[in-house]
């Protein structure tokens, strides 16, 4: 059979999506039965073929509630929730019935650019990052058109490249990873940064066996925070697997927060961790406890801060340091930089 399904709204998250199905609705319904696909069903109008003209009708697509409207004999507009999974499921169900996915009408540069920026805007996690995307929306239009034409100067290309990681993280959270020996208080620290009890805290070493990730925002910047298994050499079984996962995550981190406990004697394992991650933020955790005498005279290479998750002393300074290390500078209002994978690809092609 023939027919098309077209997504009318830009890709990305939103409250409601819109799709347009142009096909013989009776044939689509029959093909759905043969393919064992659950398409639209409603109490008053059981199938797509039963829908009246120009009337909004409520029903279900599989288990998802949605609204449909038959605007012509062979044309139905479908309005599901705006989640990506729901839209993809509808497209896949119709594809199994022989309906082709019709690309969005975006053949000219301005349409492509506008859809790309709007997609980025829907993926922003904070109002602060959204404000930078909106700033780029109008500022960068002519820049990217000149990029397409190969008319950018060397200095313009250099500036755009300089700020491309900043642009990437307007929608991709910065990866912040907590590490340290077992029982230094990583889970407590994670809970204090988040402001709620996300990690289970227990006073026995080695409690965390897997990566525990969640997203938050610091000073308006999206952060993906990861609590990892305590680092130690002598481990086995599931704990060893958790430590391996933690080390892999540490290699991918944008910033590492290394926690040490000065209430216990300084040992080689702690020194080794500090040497392994020299660019980490070093946190003297449990600062509410007395410092063991073995730390007397020890001077680490990293700058450090004393923090107590119990009393919250030093927490504000630590979070300010995290933001300063991740985003040390901000672009001026006149700077143009890529904010999407498509724009980064345009830039790469001109290198």
For residues 202 and 307, state if they share a domain.
Answer: yes
Per-residue pLDDT, 83: 77
What mean pLDDT value characterizes the chain? 87
Per-residue pLDDT, 293: 95
Pick from 56, 81, 102: which residue ends a domain? 102
For residues 321 and 342, state if they share a domain.
Answer: no
Residue 201 lies in a domain: yes
Pick from 86, 102, 118: which residue ends a domain? 102
Residue 268 lies in a domain: yes
Per-residue pLDDT, 200: 43
For residues 292 and 158, state if they share a domain.
Answer: no
For residues 96 and 142, state if they share a domain.
Answer: no
Residue 78 lies in a domain: yes
Residue 60 lies in a domain: yes
| Domain with 11 in it | 3-102
Pick from 102, 117, 132: which residue ends a domain? 102
Which segments of the chain have a pLDDT < 50? Answer: 199-204, 206-208, 235-238
Beta bridge partners of residue 344, listed in sequence order: none
For residues 317 and 190, state if they share a domain.
Answer: yes
For residues 305 and 181, state if they share a domain.
Answer: yes
Tell me phi and psi for residue 215, to 5 degrees: -110, 145
For residues 226 and 126, state if they share a domain.
Answer: no
pLDDT digits (tens, 9 = 90+) for 243-281: 667 778 888 899 999 999 999 999 999 999 999 999 999
Residue 169 lies in a domain: no
Residue 168 lies in a domain: no
State the pTM of this model.
Answer: 0.68
Q: Name the burial class of residue 51, with classes exposed (0-12), middle (13-18) and buried (19+) by CB atoms within 10 angstroms of its CB.
A: buried
For residues 184 and 284, state if they share a domain.
Answer: yes
CA pair distance 275, 317, nearest whole angstrom: 23
For residues 228 and 246, state if they share a domain.
Answer: yes
pLDDT digits (tens, 9 = 90+) for 236-253: 444 555 566 777 888 889
Provide the number of structural domains found in the chain: 3
We report the CATH number of the domain holding residue 224 as 3.40.50.300
Per-residue pLDDT, 9: 80
Collect contacts of 6-11 with beta carbons under 8 A, ≥24 apart: 6/101, 6/102, 6/103, 6/104, 7/87, 7/91, 7/104, 8/77, 8/104, 9/82, 10/104, 10/115, 10/118, 10/119, 10/122, 11/84, 11/119
Per-residue pLDDT, 326: 97
Per-residue pLDDT, 1: 58
We report the CATH number of the domain holding residue 13 as 3.30.1360.120
For residues 341 and 203, state if they share a domain.
Answer: no
For residues 15 and 120, state if they share a domain.
Answer: no
For residues 242 and 339, state if they share a domain.
Answer: no
Nearest to 23 by CA among 39, 41, 4: 4
């Amino acid at each position: 059979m023939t027919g098309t399904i077209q997504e009318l709204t830009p890709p990305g998250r939103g409250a409601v999506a819109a799709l347009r199905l142009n096909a013989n609705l009776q044939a689509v319904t029959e093909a759905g039965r043969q393919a064992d696909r659950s398409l639209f069903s409603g109490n008053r109008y059981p199938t797509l073929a039963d829908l009246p003209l120009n009337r909004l009708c409520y029903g279900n697509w599989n288990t998802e509630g949605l609204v449909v409207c038959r605007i012509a004999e062979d044309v139905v507009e479908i309005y599901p929730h705006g989640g990506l999974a729901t839209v993809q499921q509808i497209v896949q169900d119709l594809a199994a019935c022989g309906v082709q996915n019709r690309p969005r009408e975006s053949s000219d540069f301005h349409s492509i650019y506008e859809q790309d920026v709007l997609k980025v805007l829907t993926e922003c996690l904070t109002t602060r990052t959204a404000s930078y995307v909106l700033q780029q929306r109008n500022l960068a239009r002519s820049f990217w058109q000149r990029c397409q034409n190969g008319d950018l100067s060397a200095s313009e290309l250099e500036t755009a490249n300089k700020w491309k990681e900043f642009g990437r993280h307007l929608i991709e959270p910065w990866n912040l990873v907590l590490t340290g020996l077992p029982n230094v208080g990583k889970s407590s620290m994670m809970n204090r940064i988040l402001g709620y009890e996300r990690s289970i805290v227990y006073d026995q070493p080695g409690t965390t066996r897997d990566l525990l990730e969640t997203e938050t925002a610091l000073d308006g910047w999206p952060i993906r925070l990861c609590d990892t298994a305590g680092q130690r050499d002598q481990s086995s079984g599931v704990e060893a697997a958790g430590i391996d996962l933690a080390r892999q995550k540490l290699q991918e981190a944008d910033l590492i927060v290394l926690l040490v406990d000065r209430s216990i004697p300084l040992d080689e394992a702690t020194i080794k961790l500090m040497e392994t991650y020299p660019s980490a933020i070093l946190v003297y955790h449990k600062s509410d406890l007395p410092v063991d005498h073995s730390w007397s005279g020890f001077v680490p290479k990293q700058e450090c801060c004393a923090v107590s998750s119990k009393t919250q002393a030093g927490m504000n300074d630590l979070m300010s340091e995290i933001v300063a290390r991740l985003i040390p500078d901000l672009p001026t209002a006149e700077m143009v930089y890529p904010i999407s994978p498509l724009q980064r690809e345009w830039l790469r092609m001109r290198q």
